[in-house]
Amino acid sequence: MDWQGQKRAEMLMQLLLVASAVAAFVVGYAMADFQLMLLVYAAGVVLTALVTVPNWPFFNRHPLKWLDASEADRHPRPQVSATTGGKKKTGKNK
Amino acid sequence: MHSWVQRLMATATTAALLLLAACCAASALDAFHVPSVQAQAHVTKINRFHKHLNGNDKVTLTFNLSANLESVFTWNTKQVFVFLTAEYENSKNSLNQVSLWDHIIPDKDHANLQLEVKSKYPLIDQGSSLRGKKVRLVLHWHIMPNAGVMIRDRMALSEFKLPDAYTS
């Protein structure tokens, strides 16, 4: 699952759960049946789990584009020199 | 949210939290429910009134009760426990409560009570102060909800006077 997919999965999960809780409460109250509320809510939770838990292709539409290894070799990561590190430490101690 | 286990755990946690919220809301709605209970009870016969060997007064009696508790039932009511007490005061205590009869109402269809029964439990005093005593019959009910706190209520129904002498 890519980054966008993770964000989307969390949003979907919260939205679906709140919606099913509200719907279950309204239905249960309207039909004056507490057990019905629990059943409707349980159905909503199962549906939410089915939608958000498996790694559906829907969540993998924005794959990260990594650089080639050869490209990375040409631009090496800048090395932190020992002298600057020492300066920082003394500054902190003061 | 990278692995499916993380997503399952997050879903379960949020679902439990929202279930709690729904239960709180259901319980809160009960606070706005005002039942109107109608009930009457009268003692029809004092079957036996005597003094125990240990010195305590003991009464067994028959009473009739008509009570309509249908209005206490809401969608959040699991069951209602109803009991009838005899209440009186004597020199030892300002309030004595003795349970005479009790009953569990499982649903609204059985909430209209019309009965005449012997007291399920005898009226036993701690001592012998019952002769000529005025006793109140009080109906109590405890509403047990599916979610939330138990609601208690009571209603004084009638008064009767015990005989001035033991019957046996």
Phi, psi of B13 (to 5 degrees): -65, -50
Interchain CB contact of B25 with A (< 8 Å): yes
**Single-letter amino acid code for the residue at A2:** D
Q: What's the complex ipTM?
A: 0.75
Is the predicted pLDDT of residue B140 greater than 90, yes or no?
yes
**Is the residue at B167 inside a domain?**
no
Separation in Å, CA of A17 to nearest CA in chain B: 6
Task: Indicate if B135 and B69 belong to the same structural domain.
Answer: yes
Q: Are residues B38 and B26 in the same domain?
A: no
pLDDT of A91: 47
DSSP letter for each residue of B73-127: --TTEEEEEEEEEEEE--SS-S-EEEEEEEEEE-SGGG-EEEEEEE-SS-EE-SS
Task: Give yes or no: residues B38 and B48 share one domain.
Answer: yes
What pLDDT does A78 receive? 82
pLDDT at position A81: 72
Identify the pLDDT of residue A92.
47
Same domain, B143 and B98: yes
pLDDT at A82: 65
- What is the token pair recorded at A47? 């549906």
Residue A84: its pLDDT value, please? 54
Q: B23 CA to chain A: closest CA distance, Å?
A: 9
Q: What domain count does chain B have?
A: 2
Q: Distance (Å) from the C-alpha of residue B15 to the closest C-alpha of chain A?
A: 6
Contact B75 A28 (CB under 8 A): yes
pLDDT in tens, B96-108: 999 999 999 999 8
pLDDT at A80: 78
The CATH code of the domain that includes B72 is: 2.60.40
Same domain flag for B98 and B137: yes
Judge whether B95 lies within some domain: yes
Which residue, among A3, A22, A34, A59, would best test binding to B if mutated, counting the most B CBs under 10 Å from its CB? A34
CA distance B130 to B28: 43
Q: pLDDT under 70 in chain A at which residues?
A: 82-94
Judgement on whether residues B38 and B28 belong to the same structural domain of the protein: no
- Check CB contact under 8 Å for B14 and A32: no
Establish if B168 belongs to a structural domain. no
End-to-end CA distance of chain B: 80
Q: Are residues B9 and B90 in the same domain?
A: no
Task: Clarify whether residues B156 and B134 are in a common domain.
Answer: yes
Check whether residue B113 and residue B86 sit in a common domain. Answer: yes
Could you read off the pLDDT of B148-157 as tens digits, one per residue?
A: 999 999 999 9
Name the percent of chain B lying above pLDDT 90.
Answer: 69
**Per-residue pLDDT at B113 exceeds 70:** yes
Q: What is the pLDDT of residue A83?
A: 61
B23 is a domain residue: yes
B56 and B11 within one domain: no
Q: Tell me: do B41 and B28 sit in the same domain.
A: no
B146 within 8 A of A33, measured Cβ to Cβ: no
User: Is the same domain home to B77 and B157?
Assistant: yes
**Would the pTM of this model clear 0.80, i.e. be above it?**
no
Domain interval for residue B68: 34-161
Single-letter amino acid, residue B80: V
Among partner residues B2, B14, B75, which is closest to A17 by beta-carbon distance? B14
**B125 within a domain of the structure (yes/no):** yes
